[in-house]
Structure 1
Amino acid sequence: MDFQPTEDQRDLRAGVRDLLAGRYGRDALRASVDAAQTGGCVDRALWRELGEAGFFALRLPEADGGVGLGLPEAALVFEEAGRALVPGPLVATHLAAGVVPGAAAGTTVVTAFDLGGGLVSHLAEADAVLGAPEVPSGTPVRSADPLTPLHRVASYPQAPASAHTAVGALLTAALQAGSAARTVELAVRYAGEREQFGQPIGAFQAVKHLCAQMLVRAEVARTAVYAAAVTADGTEIAAAKLLADEAAVGNARDCLQVHGGMGFTWEADVHLHLKRAWVRAEQWRTAAEAEELLAAELLGAAS
């Protein structure tokens, strides 16, 4: 079985990266952070552009107006969205394509009960909630990530529909893998620019080791995500989510370490990757849930 992206898949990934670089670069990211202080952070115009590009309808059959691709392609484009830190319920809207009117086209923002405990992200900006008859009211809850506003609702399903959980976990893992790769780039770039004692800090062994560890985490997570996207196996997806969560959180922390005090300032982007990684680690499938699934699979294989 070949887990390497094909030429068409690489072109798709490059196209999405170019789209997001032109439409949601650093200035747009910082504008979203500023806007989130007084209102929503979902850029409706960008949402529609993603819809027009087929981001949400990627896995819909062509007969239904979709692109007709599969999970491997979806993993690639979500990896790029994670790299760019695009805010909003991307996974839920993608899962709602073909089910909720306007989701595939990006004219409808759809969120989901994917956090547990009655927490819902982007509830105030959502037009629909996946699997719910209407958008419920909720109480705002302080979020670690300024670009992932949270609400707590009193009545909610215990979990998203099982048909969505695995795909939701895989696509969230792809977002995490993209963030992990991006923080490697940020750390390496800063290590080459910042000087101490007359030389770039990247020349020091301790910094080299941090960056190398980050690269290993990112590549292992990416490989696991790609493999799970090809097999669509529930156990593989659980492992990919676990590895991607660890890579996104661990790499963001190490990237902060490379940046030193600069990384903790509001002006830097590093802390945004860490805060988003914390929230995503709780979405669709937590580490504890993934570990339970993997343990059950191992016990079953051993019996």
Structure 2
Amino acid sequence: MFTEAFEALLRDHCTPAAVRVIESGGAHALLWDVITDSGFLELMASEDAGGAGQDLAVALPILRLLGAHAMPLPVGQAIALRTLLPAGETVPKGMPTFAPALTRGADGSLQAPRVPFGALADHVVGELDGELLLLDAAEAQRRSLGIHHDATADLTWNAAVARRAGRVLSGAAPAGSLAAWGAALHAALLAGALARSFELALQYGNDRVQFGKPIGKFQAIQHQLAVMAEHVAAAQMAAAGAFSAGRTIPASLPAAVAKARGSEAVTVVAPIAHAVHGAIGVTDEYDLQLFTRRLHGWRMAHGSEAYWHRVIGEQLLADSEPVSRFIRMI
């Protein structure tokens, strides 16, 4: 019920045309207000807080849909934030996002590099010394990474601003919860965008005719599509492992595996999708580039596969029974 209703909402309001407008610097308030008014941001908020009280298993298809529709706003972060806030904490108005890393300089300033949607967000949640901080993004100095149509940005708060623009969320989720959510969220987004990229390549293979028959009938193209399908399925299965029923915050190891596997898939699926499409795939007018650009951006968000491979290795080596634990996890 949730998934069908949310898909209908995105189909009507998060169209490729709407995505292009926002990416080009157009107003994003209309799309954000529609999603806010729909109530889906409260999907995982507790019933006491007026939410639906749903768990990770229910949230997964919703988050995958965000990837499948190339969502240009931090809707996933807003849904996840409800599970991190302490009881009784008021959800800040506006768009929130998560900082992959937050550091304090010797002068008291705060730095948050490579923040997804950092150029658009109203608030940033980051973890520093085991505590969650809520920071006013409007008070930050924002520096775009210069990537085409990408809202990722480096944010800096000088010492004076940091003292007044940020506050500790006392009693929030345990240390490491934000990192686990960052990995799992982007694994789900990747799973949706990977599937959509594969669908577009498959459809184009059936529609594009060369030498008297669809190019999807040629063995070379069929092989490429089969490789894509393998990686898309693997990324979806890994993401599902991070979204367990009965939990509201992902466990760190399944989240790490999900993000690593999804990021790995990007390096195979995106190039094949463009190879199947040929030159048309990179044009602004064609939708494929909306998804493959996000694949590359979300692959790097909150750490690429290289980062999470190291995290997985360290966690398993620190476990007294690493193999059995890993088997139980999958």
TM-score bracket for the superposition, by shorter chain length: 0.7 to 0.9
Q: TM-score, with normalisation over the residues of structure 1?
A: 0.83
What aligned pairs does 1:87-236 form with structure 2 within 5 A after superposition? Answer: 87-97=72-82, 99=85, 101-102=90-91, 107-114=93-100, 118-130=113-125, 131-135=133-137, 136-153=139-156, 162-230=176-244, 232-236=250-254
1:253 matches 2:271 = yes
Q: Tell whether the 8 Å contact from 2:66 to 2:76 is kept in structure 1 after alignment.
A: no
Aligned-pair CA distance for 1:154? 5.9
Q: Is the CA contact 2:144–2:151 (under 8 Å) kept in the aligned structure 1?
A: no
User: 1: distance between equivalents of 2:322 and 2:123?
Assistant: 44
Q: Which residue of 1 aligns with 2:41?
A: 56
- Larger relative strand fraction: 2
Contact in 2 for aligned 1:221/1:247 (Cα 8 Å): yes
Q: In structure 2, how many angstroms separate the alpha carbons of the residues matched to 1:55 and 1:249? A: 32
Structure 2 residue aligned with 1:17, among 2, 7, 30?
A: 7
| 1:288 aligned partner | 306
Q: After superposition, what is the alpha-carbon deviation per residue over 1:88-123, rounded to whole angstroms, capped at 9, x for unaligned?
A: 2233322333747455xxx51112322676233433
SS of 1:67's equivalent? coil
Structure 2 runs not aligned, ≥5 long: 103-111, 126-132, 167-173, 324-330
In structure 2, relative to structure 1, the CA distance for the partners of 1:77 and 1:145 (3 Å cut) is farther
Per-residue Cα deviation, 1:150-192 (whole angstroms, up to 9, x for no partner): 24426699xx962211122111110000000001100011111
Report the count of equivalent residues: 283
In 2, Cα distance between equivalents of 1:302 and 1:165: 21
Counterparts in 2 of 1:60 and 1:139: CA distance versus 1, 3 Å: closer
Give the % identical residues: 27
Distance 1:161-1:208 versus aligned 2 partners, 3 A rule? same
Aligned-residue offset at 1:207: 0.8
Residues 4-46 of structure 1 show CA distances to partners (whole Å, capped at 9, x for unaligned) of xxxxxxx32222222111111222223333xx2xx356x2222
Larger mean Cα displacement after TM superposition, 243-252 or 201-210: 243-252
Structure 2 counterpart of 1:45: 30
Correspondence for 1:65: 50
Q: What is the letter of the counterpart of residue 96 of structure 2?
A: V
Aligned mates of 2:153, 2:287 — CA distance in 1? 21
Q: Aligned residue for 1:3?
A: none
Are 2:19 and 1:29 equivalent residues in the alignment?
yes
Map of 1:5 onto structure 2: none
- 1:81 maps to 66
Give the whole-Å Cα distance in 2 for the aligned partners of 1:17 and 1:200: 30
Note if contact 2:44-2:80 (Cα within 8 Å) is conserved in structure 1: no
Q: Which amino acid aligns with 1:211?
A: L
- Contact conserved, 1:60 with 1:66, CA < 8 A, in 2? yes
Mapped contact 2:3–2:62 kept (Cα < 8 A): yes
Could you tell me whether the CA contact under 8 Å between 2:94 and 2:122 is conserved in 1?
A: yes
The aligned amino acid for 2:218 is: F
Deviations 1:234-274 (A, max 9, x none): 21111111111222442222111100111122222222222
Q: Name the SS of the counterpart of 2:134 in structure 1.
A: coil
CA distance in 1, matches of 2:264, 2:26: 28
SS of alignment partner, residue 230 of structure 1: coil
In structure 2, give the amino acid aligned to 1:162. Answer: G
Q: Structure 2 CA distance, aligned partners of 1:125 and 1:302?
A: 41
Q: What's the secondary structure of 2:264's corresponding residue?
A: helix
RMSD value, Cα: 2.6
The answer as to 2:262 corresponding to 1:244 is yes
Letter in 1 for 2:265: A
Bigger Rg, structure 1 or 2: 2
Structure 1 residues 149 and 298, CA gap change in structure 2 (3 angstroms): closer
Equivalent AA in structure 2 for residue 246 of structure 1: E
Say whether the 8 Å CA contact 1:145–1:276 is kept in structure 2.
Answer: no
